[in-house]
Amino acid sequence: MPGKQTPRAVWRSVRELPEFGRLLELRAVSQFGDGLFQGGLAGAILFNPERAAEPWAIAAAFAVLFLPYSVLGPFAGALLDRWDRRLVLIGANSVRLVLVATVGVLLASGVADLPILVGALVVNGFTRFVSSGVSAALPHVVPRDRVISMNSLSVATGAVAAFLGANFMLVPRWLFGAGDAGASVVIFLVTVPVGLALWLSMRFPPHLLGPDASTRAVRGSVLYAVATGWTHGARTVLGVPTVAATLSGLAAHRVVFGINTMLVLVMVRHTEQASVVGLGTAVLFVAATGAGSFLATVVTPKLVRRWGRYTVPNAALTFAAVVQLAGTGLYLPVMVLCGFLLGGAGQMVKLCADSAMQIDVDDALRGHVFTVQDSLFWMAFIGAIGAAAAVIPPDGRAPGLAAVGSAVYLAGLAAHATVARGARLAD
């Protein structure tokens, strides 16, 4: 039975689903490029001896990189439910390829932070467009009874690829230096996986990835569909309790992750040799969080089969609230361990949210909902980064801020338990 598959059987299933295998390859190379780009950019802006980054500068960098697309994403996301998703993926990767090269040129030229961040903002926008398109397309290449397991495999593959890309950044940084020249080499290398993602996008047959014709599709012109993207996406989220509940829990997790990220970044910048030791500690924190997320992708399908899509997020958020309290001592090794555990708990909630959107939402609106999730994902993170920057001391020692994170998890738990209670039969 699909619900009893071993890891070997899951991989055998991938061979039995060739179009899903292509989608998995696309996700892997795309997220490897994204991890390499984000890692290179972090090294270029936050851990570059030629540039400075204080708490407000860190918050501003994140806001410029992710907030504009987070606001505009659901408008553009309407195109995922209007146009052939294969063509959307091809177009997004094509533009992404050109823009990545442009950011590399800007870094090599030694321009100020703002033009680089604006260029990176547009790159991130098209990258998010690709990730939302891949997630919305998954039910078209996977039987319904395998959506949860195959989505977990897809997310795990993407997480590993992003982790490898972010850490691969350390090789050219070591070879070419931590300054602008070395950072530009890292960014130029990103064109390789992005170019490969473009080629993989072209391999799909037309219309294979959706969207399907549906009576629930948004009618009217493309302009009208884009202009009302947020409205239709938010209305769909609020109308599906399983989606609204899991997204409220996911938002709580992203707020806490934003708080913890700011604490770690500010603390490591006050270590000796911040550009080397500090970057290494920050990478270790991100790696631990990613490792926890990867572990969650392995165990979550089994937990959902046993306990259901209602109980698993509740348990994960309760566990996260307790773990967050352990990090209030702000001892970096403990923070790294907490990052691992919280990464796992948060990923469980996210996988349940993905499953709700892929199973409980009509395909004609699925692209809308995934872009709303992506926007909420980053807006919660950036809002937390900005709020933390307003109160964090210069050395990052703010145990009260870490304690607030535990309260946020409890708020997310209350929201999820209340909103999803009426939808428990969906399990």
Q: Which domains does the chain have, with CATH numbers?
A: 18-204+220-426 (1.20.1250.20)
Lowest pLDDT segment from 63-77, 213-227, 405-419: 213-227
Q: Which two tokens stand for residue 130?
A: 């690709």
pLDDT tops 80 at residue 10: no
Nearest Cα residue to 361 out of 251, 210, 219: 210
| Distance between CA atoms of residues 77 and 81, nearest Å | 7
| Distance between CA atoms of residues 210 and 370, nearest Å | 14
Give the ranges where 78-208 is alpha helix by DSSP (H). 85-109, 113-137, 147-168, 170-176, 180-189, 191-201
Q: Could you check whether the bond before residue 143 is cis, i.e. omega within 30 degrees of 0?
A: no
| Distance between CA atoms of residues 193 and 127, nearest Å | 12
Lowest pLDDT segment from 41-50, 114-123, 175-184: 41-50
Are the CB atoms for 210 and 365 separated by under 8 Å? no
pLDDT tops 70 at residue 52: no
pLDDT at 98: 95
129-163 tens-digit pLDDT: 888 888 888 888 988 888 888 888 888 888 889 88
What are the C-alpha distances in Å from 108 to residues 33, 150, 182? 19, 41, 8
**Close Cβ partners of 244 (under 8 Å, ≥ 6 residues apart):** 237, 238, 419, 420
Q: Which two tokens stand for residue 359?
A: 């199973």
Instruction: Provide the residue count of the chain.
Output: 427
Are the CB atoms for 323 and 344 separated by under 8 Å? no
pLDDT at 126: 86
Q: Is 143 left (phi over 0), alpha (psi -120 to 50) or beta?
A: beta
pLDDT at 1: 37
Selection from 120-134, 250-264, 297-311 with the highest mean pLDDT: 250-264
The pLDDT of 35-44, averaged and rounded, is 83
| One-letter amino acid for residue 382 of the chain | I
| Distance between CA atoms of residues 148 and 268, nearest Å | 38
The pLDDT of 293-315, averaged and rounded, is 90
372-395 tens-digit pLDDT: 888 888 889 989 988 998 888 877
| Distance between CA atoms of residues 146 and 46, nearest Å | 41
The pLDDT of 241-265, averaged and rounded, is 93
Backbone angles phi, psi at 220, to 5 degrees: 105, -175
Are the CB atoms for 388 and 259 separated by under 8 Å? yes
Are the CB atoms for 357 and 243 separated by under 8 Å? yes
pLDDT at 31: 93
What DSSP state is assigned to residue 204? S
pLDDT at 274: 46
At 101, is the pLDDT very low, low, confident or very high (cuts 50, 70, 90)?
very high
pLDDT at 340: 94
The pLDDT of 74-83, averaged and rounded, is 73
Q: How many CB atoms lie within 10 A of CB 267?
A: 22
Nearest Cα residue to 156 out of 294, 32, 299: 294
Angle at 397 between CA 264 and CA 383, to 5 degrees: 60
At 9, is the pLDDT very low, low, confident or very high (cuts 50, 70, 90)?
low
**Close Cβ partners of 280 (under 8 Å, ≥ 6 residues apart):** none
pLDDT tops 50 at residue 308: yes
At 271, is the pLDDT very low, low, confident or very high (cuts 50, 70, 90)?
low
The pLDDT of 176-192, averaged and rounded, is 85
pLDDT at 46: 67
What DSSP state is assigned to residue 278? I
Nearest Cα residue to 89 out of 137, 151, 133, 136: 133
pLDDT tops 70 at residue 422: no
pLDDT tops 90 at residue 290: no
The pLDDT of 91-119, averaged and rounded, is 88
Lowest pLDDT segment from 29-43, 68-82, 205-219, 271-285: 271-285
Lowest pLDDT segment from 365-369, 406-410, 421-425: 421-425
Lowest pLDDT segment from 33-47, 150-164, 340-354: 33-47
pLDDT at 425: 45
The pLDDT of 357-381, averaged and rounded, is 85
Q: Which two tokens stand for residue 34?
A: 């994204």
Q: Is 179 left (phi over 0), alpha (psi -120 to 50) or beta?
A: beta
